[in-house]
Structure 1
């Protein structure tokens, strides 16, 4: 037979050369479901179809970050701050390391904060913002606000606290630092003080900027602010103030102005600010405090910091613990995760109104990438930071 008679037409041969193998979308979903989060975040840039699939994929889901803090010479200290991802599926296994940052020169750590996949890592000496998914770390410049005030009678050991959040108007991320310029407590119940507030806008500022007005109230130091809908919420230090605070101090990241956010009116007299806890839960602001009977924990909810309309949503059995050792952290399905005491977490099912789980942070297995061993040999645990985390590609 002649070769020309059996050969396919030129157009058909060209079509076979240029045709692209088709992978069913269902198969793509299966493949993506087995990839780590970091790979999914990169592959979300391939095309719109993949981005849509990955944005809904169960693998890209909120989890918890755990950061053990240890004691050295009686002070909270970490040569290296290590963030671990904690998921139920990893029970019994060593928690995977998400990020490790050298903090050997910083000594005193503050509470961490999370916003849109970015983690605020503040200490007395330095402030860092990191994205564990992209492995990027930004060290903020030094500021005079980091220097402690002149020594005096009964001056607190710490003089500053931090907050971190997103400014919806400028679409920028901001770090705020509250600090005492001076504080003098002679011991007679009177406390004299001056305060300040600095702001650093990531991607814009080269140095910290002081706000046009100083904070009108003294804040609790080393208590990281709660971010909610463009505002940072701090607890006022009623001991330094010398009287009952009118509420929580709200700092707007849009106009960088201060206002007072009132608490639930029925709770005002029994509200002890150093013990209560604020958190964002499913798009609402949650206030956890001791119940009037001292046997329950009340969870009050609102969705507005300007003119909050509080409603008591839940009443939970205290089980011999109270805020802030009963801090709401996150909600997974119908379970609220609470940080209980210094070393454990509890889960409370909102439907069954029962506790479903308790994990002691000390009992989890931690792989130390510095020593190559499990745990923290020779160190005593001080406490554990536990915070919700959703990976993202937000640049810093």
Structure 2
């Protein structure tokens, strides 16, 4: 009987498809297999396809420890991996946001800013405009899908002081936008209709990029910034007016829920009513569902996708919560990383920027 022979050859298109489903750590090894694989993995088309497949998987959580903001880890439902920060980042990290596998990090004064890919261990330190006078700085990070450009919005409020160090004047904020494509900062006009009182109450760091928009939370509402057109929009009123706020307790910052802006609120005095409110395309807030669970979350930090939230219980620590199965699971923190200061949603990728350099 004749032996049946098999052809072991795979087309380049099939190799492309198979490789695009591998984790980054495996792809970095695959680069050394042969010139053909190296050529495939380093093309923009492959990086884009790999990112699209990564988005279909369960996202991970980036964590910064409270006792030392230079101690980082990346956690999935199954495991926890410690990360080493770029050594050139000055001071302790006070801002962390992630988009398409890139992480924007900054120190307290936002004068040392870094864009970092923790999977490929590449990073870029940015040249940041400085101010002679004291200033309060707010920061946001996102992606312009039309222009294929990563952008950082930096809002600076200058504070004038007298010789005794007392504040005598708070100036109108200035907005600067960094474009990774142009590798420059430019000034952005802040509408005159936004009251100074809004900036007095604004959060230092804005929420995640939601479909190409950043949102700043301030007095009574959310201020959107369009990353495609580089303009601020009209303030979006929060789900509950001021006279109703005392009956509702906000249990989350701004969340990206399946591509829509969402927030979690709790009814005062009602332990079970922890509800997710979503902003629809018409600008109306709708109550999406109640997050029912036996173990209450005191704060909801992230929506990771695949039906999972990340929240905090003050007595039992950080938890994954599946809102459909009504189940919680502890994050697999190493013992020395249980005291966490900040968390961010992370999707691994091969995305790189012009000027990236390798970590030591």
Q: State the TM-score, normalized to the length of structure 1.
A: 0.66
Which residue pairs with 1:235 in the alignment?
A: 217
Q: State the TM-score, normalized to the length of structure 2.
A: 0.72
Q: 1:202 to 1:57 in 2, by over 3 A?
A: closer
Say yes or no: does 1:326 pair with 2:313. Answer: no
CA contact (8 A) 1:276 1:288 kept: yes
Which secondary structure does the structure 2 equivalent of 1:46 belong to? helix
CA contact (8 A) 1:110 1:223 kept: no
Say yes or no: does 1:122 pair with 2:111. Answer: no
2-side partners of 1:226 and 1:356: how far apart?
Answer: 24
2-side partners of 1:278 and 1:135: how far apart?
Answer: 29
Which secondary structure does the structure 1 equivalent of 2:235 belong to? strand
1:116-167 deviations in whole A, cap 9, x for unaligned? Answer: 1111111123011112233221111121259633xxxxxxxxx222110112
CA contact (8 A) 2:114 2:126 kept: yes
Structure 2 residues not aligned, in runs of 5+: 1-5, 32-36, 162-167, 354-360
Say yes or no: does 1:148 pair with 2:120. Answer: no
Task: Within 5 Å, give how 1:43-192 maps onto structure 2.
Answer: 46=40, 61-71=57-67, 77-78=68-69, 81-90=70-79, 95-102=80-87, 105-107=90-92, 109-123=93-107, 124=109, 125-144=111-130, 148-149=134-135, 159-182=136-159
Aligned partner (choices 195, 200, 205) of residue 183 of structure 2: 205
Q: 1:248 to 1:33 in 2, by over 3 A?
A: closer
1:303-326 deviations in whole A, cap 9, x for unaligned? Answer: 43xx4232111122585654xx22
Which residue pairs with 1:260 in the alignment?
A: 235
CA contact (8 A) 2:155 2:173 kept: yes
Which residue pairs with 1:346 in the alignment?
A: 319
Say yes or no: does 1:315 pair with 2:290. Answer: yes
Q: 1:191 to 1:339 in 2, by over 3 A?
A: farther
2-side partners of 1:117 and 1:262: how far apart?
Answer: 31
2-side partners of 1:146 and 1:330: how far apart?
Answer: 40
Question: Which protein, 1 or 2, shows the higher relative CO under an 8 Å CA cutoff with sep ≥ 6?
Answer: 2
1-side partners of 2:134 and 2:82: how far apart?
Answer: 33
CA contact (8 A) 1:327 1:340 kept: no
CA contact (8 A) 1:62 1:389 kept: no
Say yes or no: does 1:196 pair with 2:209. Answer: no
Which residue pairs with 1:385 in the alignment?
A: 342
Task: Within 5 Å, give how 1:286-301 maps onto structure 2.
Answer: 286-291=262-267, 293-295=269-271, 296-301=273-278
2-side partners of 1:275 and 1:183: how far apart?
Answer: 35
1-side partners of 2:230 and 2:159: how far apart?
Answer: 22
Aligned length: 321
CA contact (8 A) 1:112 1:224 kept: no
1:181-239 deviations in whole A, cap 9, x for unaligned? Answer: 1278xxxxx99553221111013033x32213368330534334331111110111x4x
Q: 1:392 to 1:349 in 2, by over 3 A?
A: closer
1-side partners of 2:88 and 2:249: how far apart?
Answer: 30
Say yes or no: does 1:394 pair with 2:355. Answer: no
1:159-180 deviations in whole A, cap 9, x for unaligned? Answer: 2221101123322110011222
Which secondary structure does the structure 1 equivalent of 2:202 belong to? coil
Deviation at 1:54, TM superposition (A): 6.2
1-side partners of 2:52 and 2:159: how far apart?
Answer: 50
2-side partners of 1:56 and 1:127: how far apart?
Answer: 27
1-side partners of 2:188 and 2:52: how far apart?
Answer: 40
Say yes or no: does 1:39 pair with 2:11. Answer: no
Larger Rg: 1
1-side partners of 2:64 and 2:290: how far apart?
Answer: 30
1-side partners of 2:21 and 2:229: how far apart?
Answer: 44
Structure 1 residues not aligned, in runs of 5+: 1-18, 72-76, 150-158, 185-189, 239-244, 367-374
Deviation at 1:59, TM superposition (A): 11
